[in-house]
Amino acid sequence: MLRWIIFISIYIAISIYVLQGLKAASRFPWVHYAYITISLLVIGNFIFQFTFGEQEGRVLSVAKSYAFGFLLAMIAFNLVTIVFLFSEDIYRLIAGTYHKIFGESREFSVPARRRFLSLMALGIASLPFGALLFGMYKGKYNFKVLKYNLEFDDLPDAFHGYQITQISDVHSGSFDDREKIEYAINLINEQNSDALLFTGDMVNNKAEEMKPWAELFSGLRAKDGKFSVLGNHDYGDYVQWESDAAKAKNLNDLKNLQREMGFDLLLNEHRYLKKGDDKIALIGVENWGRGGFKKAGDLKKAVSIIHKDDFKILMSHDPSHWEDVVIHDEHHYHLTLSGHTHGMQFGIEIPGWIKWSPVKWRYKYWAGIYEELGQYINVNRGFGFLGYPGRVGIWPEISVITLKKKSLT
């Protein structure tokens, strides 16, 4: 209860402060009342959804995600506005103090707010506010196909031109538009890839979240099959289960559901993809993550019966596994496929110019292709979304990777 009181008090104080700037910028009372009404509705809905609106067994329902999203947009608007207003207030305070000490009247008088600065503050603050709302409305389903060509000296000849489609982080419990998901499934199939690889987080928490979408995902096609691994959310670790048996059943249900949808789920094991006499090893490990995330991945077990010199593609959900373990392993993993970061669902990307997201402060390898010690990783930006029900600048991704042998290019 105390944390709610503190949070609401801070939110109201900030809103009142922003309202003063709004009054300086606009003389129309209806604008002020509109801001007050929206502020109260946003905080009221957030409190309701995260208290009385709690759904048993789910960390974030769709309604709760939207409540969080609207609150995030409002906070972004307020904080940007405050930066300008507070800077001006410091100037006003200094000016008033100066007049008190050196002025003729020796009276302390704070200059009025300048309407131009208030308008500029509100105008700039509307940019992140509008972007976050757009991300919730359109951005989260703004699917992009990103294509990469990777060359290797030791790729088996028969696999020159072999095409892989990778998707990751479906988070089906967050979906709210069947038509958009159907479009994305068709977009994946249009790539006509040889193999489809899914790198974890099929659900937010519970296997039942995937059931309304299972028919659509069953329609995914690839010539040599569909393969998957588990991500940190697939284990149900973020739910208060009534018993350990219920949690174990949920995980088993999810594994079975993936297999029913046609995925070959790799649990610290491998498969060989073959073309004539040539083959490449496809390796899948369970989740291994740094900093408190589950470490069920067992790389040694997964490669225990494959040849050290085989060409290897590794599926591992969390890119920190690649950084901390894989690239330093005695085996050479030519290509690792990961996800997990979502690119934080927020950032700026202009190919060839800028690639930035706050998630870079947590993950060194957070989106796209990287190379270290002659080994590649692709960190997929994610198919779905979690928490904030949108995406801004970091769009949902379908990765298409073509393997090429250098001597044949």
pLDDT digits (tens, 9 = 90+) for 338-385: 999 999 999 999 888 999 999 999 999 999 999 999 999 999 999 999
In this predicted structure, the answer to whether residue 183 has a pLDDT above a threshold of 60 is yes
CATH number of this structure's domain 142-408? 3.60.21.10
- According to the model, what pLDDT value does residue 381 have? 98
- According to the model, what pLDDT value does residue 105 have? 56
Helix (H, G, I), strand (E, B) or coil at 167: strand
- According to the model, what pLDDT value does residue 57 have? 46
Q: Where in the sequence of the chain do the CATH 3.60.21.10 domains occur?
A: 142-408
pLDDT above 90 covers a percentage of the chain that reads 75
pLDDT digits (tens, 9 = 90+) for 68-113: 999 999 999 999 998 888 776 675 666 556 555 665 555 544 455 6
The average pLDDT across 151-156 equals 95
- According to the model, what pLDDT value does residue 55 have? 57
Cα 183–185–187 angle (5° rounding)?
Answer: 70
Mean predicted lDDT score pLDDT of the chain = 91
The reported pTM is: 0.91
